[in-house]
Structures are given as structure tokens and as C-alpha cells.
């Protein structure tokens, strides 16, 4: 069979389709272990505000942080209705978990669990308390982080979100060994004007799922 010796229009993409496809794709958010403090009971809360518990007069102790972001696939297509299960330690670095042997105090006004969903544009938001770090061994203290289990249409991502500028980030074994670029696991602060809480932080963290 005769084969053309000169490229026909558009044929140049065929032999290098993988390369072409890879260009422009965003790196998927790094994966991490679930960790030992996944809630022992199913997460039933769907609140976007972990700083208060319904029926309690006082809010949780610690620095308020507003976190928002968008869930997309690697092409940047928003993933609507993705489910985000979230759990975290309180401001003192203590989980309300029976296996947590940290002697830091439990905060009766902080539950630290919720399950939220993205909107039609893939956006999500959470108001919470910046978690404290906590000791794992005498030589290892975990940096402040929030656990996420994200379920999109096709992908599931278990990971941990960190805060930029934390000295403990550079020494954290889990962050340094995360499956994927560690930069993808770090939330960045943006301006925080007009918020009801003085000194509140505002952070952005976008989540990229492998297949959306």
C-alpha cells in the first residue's frame, strides 16, 4: 500500500499524541495517607462553618481561617457536586479521636468534621479554625494540616492540605513523601479585608483530580 511521504494536514499530531495531550494539563493534587485519626463515626455534618457547633454559645478556640477553592480535572474542567470529607485537629493539635494520645486539650466547641460538596462551578468553601501541629515522635511534629477525602465523578483523592510559610512543612515526613508535587498540597494566603473576625486568615487551595 502506498504511504504518503509528506505529512498530510493535521497528521503531525498522531505520532506525538501523548506529548500533545500532556501539554497544558495541570498536575494532579498530591496524595497522602488517611492517617490514624479518621473519624470513628460516619461524618454526618454538612456545615461550611466548623468554628461553631449548633446550640453552643461559644465558638471554637483559635484563629479563624476561611478556605476556598475549586475542584477541577487536569484540563481545568470544574467538577461539580464533588464530595469533600474533611477532618482536622483543633487549634491545640488534638483530634476528638480515641486513638489520639496527645495531651493537648480537647475543645468542646470544636468538632472538626464535615462533609461538603462543590457547586456547579466546582467551588467549595470552609470556615474553620487553623489547626495546631502535633507530635508524632520526639523528633517529628506534624505541621498544621487538614485532611481531605475528595470524591469526584471518576476520581477519589485522599490527601492533606497544608498552610504556606509553616517551618514544620519542610521537615514533615508525610508532606515530603507525598505522591505528587508537595506544592500542590499547600494552601496560599490571600488578602483578608472586611471579615467579621479581626486577624482571620483567608486561604485558597485548589484541588486537581486525576480524571475529574
Catalytic residue annotation: 95, 134, 142, 145, 147
CB of 108 to Fe ion, least distance (A): 20
CA distance 71 to 54: 28
76 versus 135: smaller Cβ distance to Fe ion = 135
Dist. CA 139–CA 160, nearest whole Å: 21
Residue closest to Fe ion, measured at CB: 35
Shortest reach from residue 147's CB to Fe ion, in Å? 6
For the beta carbon of residue 34, count every other beta carbon within 10 angstroms: 12
φ, ψ at 74 (rounded to 5°):
-70, -15
- Scan residues 120-149 and list those touching Fe ion (CB under 5 A): none
Please state, in angstroms and rounded to a whole number, the distance separating the CA atoms of residues 39 and 34: 10
Question: At closest approach, how far in Å is the CB of 89 from Fe ion?
Answer: 6
Q: What is the 3-state secondary structure (H, E, C) of 107-128?
A: CCCCCCEEEEECCCCCEEEEEE
What's the chain's Rg over C-alpha atoms? Answer: 21
Shortest distance in whole angstroms from residue 128 CB to Fe ion = 14
C-beta closer to Fe ion: residue 35 or 180? 35
Residues of span 8-47 touching Fe ion by CB under 5 A:
35
Nearer to Fe ion, 79 or 87 (CB): 87
Instruction: Find where cell 513523601 sits.
Output: 177
- Tell me how far, at minimum, the Cβ of 39 lies from Fe ion, in Å: 12
Nearer to Fe ion, 79 or 126 (CB): 126
The DSSP call for residue 17 is: H
- Mention every residue, 6+ apart, whose C-beta is less than 8 A from residue 127: 48, 49, 50, 51, 64, 65, 66, 67
When the beta carbons of 88 and 206 are compared against Fe ion, the nearer one is 88
Residues near Fe ion (CB under 5 A) are: 35
Amino acid at each position: 500500500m502506498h504511504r504518503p511521504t509528506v505529512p498530510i494536514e493535521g497528521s503531525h499530531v498522531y505520532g506525538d499524541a501523548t506529548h500533545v495531550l500532556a501539554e497544558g494539563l495541570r498536575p494532579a493534587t498530591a496524595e497522602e495517607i488517611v492517617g490514624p485519626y479518621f473519624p470513628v463515626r460516619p461524618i454526618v455534618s454538612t456545615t461550611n462553618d466548623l468554628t461553631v457547633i449548633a446550640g453552643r454559645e461559644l465558638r471554637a478556640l483559635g484563629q479563624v481561617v476561611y478556605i476556598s477553592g475549586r475542584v477541577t480535572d487536569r484540563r481545568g474542567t470544574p467538577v461539580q457536586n464533588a464530595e469533600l470529607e474533611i477532618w482536622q485537629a483543633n487549634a491545640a493539635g488534638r483530634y476528638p479521636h480515641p486513638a489520639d494520645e496527645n495531651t493537648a486539650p480537647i475543645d468542646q466547641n470544636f468538632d472538626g468534621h464535615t462533609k461538603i460538596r462543590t457547586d456547579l462551578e466546582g467551588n467549595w468553601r470552609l470556615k474553620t479554625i487553623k489547626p495546631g501541629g502535633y507530635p508524632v515522635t520526639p523528633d517529628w511534629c506534624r505541621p498544621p494540616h487538614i485532611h481531605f477525602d475528595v470524591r469526584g465523578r471518576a476520581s477519589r483523592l485522599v490527601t492533606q492540605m497544608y498552610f504556606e510559610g509553616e517551618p514544620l512543612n519542610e521537615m514533615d515526613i508525610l508532606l515530603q513523601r507525598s505522591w505528587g508535587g508537595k506544592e500542590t498540597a499547600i494552601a496560599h494566603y490571600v488578602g483578608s479585608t472586611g471579615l467579621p473576625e479581626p486577624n482571620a486568615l483567608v486561604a485558597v487551595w485548589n484541588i486537581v483530580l486525576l480524571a475529574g
